A and B are shown apart, each in its own frame.
Chain A
Amino acid sequence: MSTSTIAAPRAATEGARAADASAPALEVAGVSLAFGGVTALTGVDLKVAEGEIFSVIGPNGAGKSSLINVVSGLYRPNAGCVLIGRKSFAAVPAAALASLGVARTFQNLALFNGLDVAGNVAMGLAHQDRTGLFGQIVGSPGARAEEARSLVTEILAFIELTAIADRAPGTLPYGVRKRVELARALVSRPKLLLLDEPMAGMNAAEKADMVRFVRAARDRWGATVVLIEHDIGVVMEISDRIAVLDHGRKIADGAPAEVRDDKGVIDAYLGVAHDDDEIPLELAGAA
């Protein structure tokens, strides 16, 4: 079903970005989520236009990861719905996510340690495999396997992982593993890319690389990006728009400059966050 999203070159992204009024790539409407007595999200609305880099910020426990987990189908919201492209879901089917053209990374690394780096990246194409078990055992790798291999090679070169393609992820530094996970998400050329703190635990140089990759994902392949990030400098630099969550509610949504000057945001988040900016990074690095 999704082969066309891989083979066909994407429509010019410039056009898509200009046409903000067209159907959003992602819409979250009135989503609420609670775990027992703990409310994680309360009536959150979001509209992410195609080709946008859309950041979600907020203090620890604000509900950012929960939001991405709802969008990727890991959590089922108690109320509201999620629109991906033109399809609306009360609960997004996680198993069909990749086929919907959505890929994500996780706040805590979620690599397959028994596969090498190239194998991990290739798993990003797992949803395309249609060969039955029998065909896999007796058949020879077909044209599709060739195509998959060249996609993996290309993305490894792009994310600058070629030299370590056959290393086990467990032997790599944390920042490099984060890049492997990004490569796994990018290899299928997703229409929508959900990144949960991809730069956590990285030094400035590594972050700059990551910023470059995320930008390229949008500019080259037209991906729409939803980014959770604690580093306000990075967020301000890279985002087209920013939403701010606090205690599960969206308290602001707009262009970087608007959000930066928003009184509520300054009170709730930025003023505080600036001082302990390092803390979440430390925590994530230790995880």
Chain B
Amino acid sequence: MADVAFRLAAPSRRLTSGAVAGALVLASAYLLPPLVGSTYLFEAILLPFLALSLAGLGLNLLTGYAGQLSLGSAAFMAVGAYAAFNFDLRVPGLPFVGSLILGGLSAAAVGLAFGLPSLRLRGFYLAVSTLAAQFFVQWALNKFDWFSNGSASGVVRAPDIVLAGHVIDGPVERYLFALTVVVAATLFAVRLANSQTGRNFIAVRDNETAARIVGVPVLRTKLVAFAVSSFIIGVAGALWSFAYLRTIEPAGFNLDRSFQILFIVIIGGLASIRGAFFGAALIVVLPLALSRLGQAAFGGAFDSGVLELSQRVLLGALIIAFLIAEPKGLVALADRARARALRPFLKPPYGG
């Protein structure tokens, strides 16, 4: 009975220590960068990091938790961005947050449609069928200039983000806005992952037959995964365009971007909320660090072409290394490092 008591007490204890850590991260995310950050930090690092983390978070729900491989992330980002743009443009009086949510819902609808093949297809075949979303959305954005309000290239300037009459202006305010959206989405994802639906995702991923037998609504679960994931990825696309780039352009949402989001999830850690943030941090910081290092080591010879190439090589090597050596990603590395650091302070039963 002591064991039962321990077992029942454990989740809440884990919850409180997690909540404390989360609160610390949150407080520093809100307070530190505005105090010490340069424009460069916001524009080149933090804003793309937030948007990519959010996209990774969305994909991780679908691929990491529910086990449905998708290569359509950039398409869902594009739908979120262009839909938010059009709602903002065409619905007078709609607050920006409304456009953002409707953008996410539009992405969810498109994600749901392209998730239908998941009811029949698996793994590699499903991934290929989600490519259809990628090509279809890019085709539609190029073909119909209505989406970009008549711009022939499809590129439009993103309108200002306006909150309750206040124009979100400057990198710090855009950062704080994006951060708030990401925090809200993360809380949602945490709740989802710990809900019955989240456990159903994992059950469907791990053993679809057993899941069906215990009464998990398998088809509905897959569609919910596609819809929720695409919603979050759509909002990420809107953040990418409105808060980070301040232009909306189809080229930014190509297949490369879809792969980038997938790599974020793989490197960061599948089926982990933190994984998306770890992976996005690495993806954003890697080229910057590489460029600094290259410049320092080779000077002018390290031009943008070489940078691009070495970045791809290094990323490819990292992905292979992670897939082979640590399929659970950076999160697992971090957890192991923390356990090692804490071991001296813990009694044997918890130290192992």
Contact = CB atoms under 8 A, between A and B. Distances in A.
Contact of A129 (B196, B206, B210, B211): B196
Nearest to B3: A162
A138 B8 CA distance: 22
Interface residues of B, number: 31
A72 B213 contact: yes
Interface residues of A, number: 41
Interface string A108-134: 001111110011001111111101010
A95 B212 contact: yes
Contact of B7 (A72, A106, A114, A162): A162
B157 interface: no
A259 interface: no
A136 interface: yes
Contacts of A153: 4, 7-8
Interface string B1-45: 001100110100000000000000000000000000000000000
Contact of B196 (A114, A131, A165): A131
Contacts of B205: 114
A125 B199 CA distance: 12
B188 A137 contact: yes
Contacts of A234: none
Contact of B214 (A123, A131, A136, A166): A123
A131 B228 CA distance: 17
B206 to A, nearest CB: 4
A184 interface: yes
Contacts of A118: 7
B206 A136 contact: no
B215 A98 contact: yes
Contacts of B192: 133, 136-137
Nearest to B196: A129
A52 to B, nearest CB: 22
A74 interface: yes
A126 B216 contact: yes
A241 interface: no
Contacts of A97: 213, 215
A179 interface: no
Contact of B218 (A95, A133, A137): A95
B212 A94 contact: yes
B308 to A, nearest CB: 37
B214 A124 contact: yes
Contact of B202 (A72, A103, A112): A112
Contacts of B213: 72, 74, 94, 97-98, 103-104
Contact of A98 (B207, B214, B228): B214
B215 A162 contact: no
A174 B176 CA distance: 51
B10 A166 contact: yes
Contacts of A106: 209-210
B206 A113 contact: yes
Contacts of A124: 214
Interface of A: 72, 74, 94-99, 103-104, 106, 110-115, 118-119, 122-129, 131, 133, 136-138, 149, 153, 156-157, 162-163, 165-166, 184
Given A115-B199, A153-B4, 6 more contacts: A110-B209, A111-B206, A126-B196, A126-B200, A136-B197, A166-B10
5 contacts: A103-B213, A123-B211, A123-B214, A123-B216, A126-B203
